[in-house]
A and B are shown apart, each in its own frame.
Chain A
């Protein structure tokens, strides 16, 4: 195959540096240093200059926030379930391919033995019932 295109490919596929700060972002994402999720919830019990108005506004806001959190958590759980299923499916597909490769390898072994000349192999083909 043309050396020209292969050299062009090597030039085209030079490694690219990761964006600045990449390592820091990876380290921050590691389990021990994972940032804690927080949800701000307005507390109606804190004294406010306009407590009555504040109370009337904060309860619906807290409810809305809880509702949104529930949706996000639900979506996250659904997403997690989907991810788990996808991981399982991909793992199963890899196992399937591995099984078929072993099958083909062994059938090839039989084929090689079948086509080997009689003086080097003792081959029988059984009757089919």
Chain B
């Protein structure tokens, strides 16, 4: 377990000291959300209707942008080889890196996203549900994304391929997440959608580290 937390700490240090990585994802997220009212027009009733969807689509795309740094640098400089040789099982290493990635990418999005959606005329009553949905959904994005990032780690120009592999896997999270926020915005109970989102997270938590670890081992051969 010490190795697990050491890896988490290392990745956090790298992300925070190299700076910019977290900020860039956040700025991209804010910009992506800003584009929608500018493109669609400022009518509040239209914006309320699409706020949940816009929030989640922007979160999906931001997560996708940040996935490359999950394994790419460690693959290039040989850290992954050391991790594969080490005593920490590979799926646990993936889980540690995913945790660090979520803390520096998913968590900021979760904190900033729902208040930002207020600018899209999301009712204030929907804020707690939106925070909860993002808190459950963004780890799914990181974990499912880890599979795609691991599969494309050794490939030159893997970016577009990563999007093609990962976005279909993101669709359930998108559907349940925006349904939860939507339900709260229109005065319904978000609970069923939040439970489905939690179920998605459970499945991703169990399956994704194994799949990503298998893919990483393959890339390291």
A, B assembled together: no
Q: Using a CB–CB distance below 8 Å, which chain A residues touch chain B?
A: none
Q: Using a CB–CB distance below 8 Å, which chain B residues touch chain A?
A: none
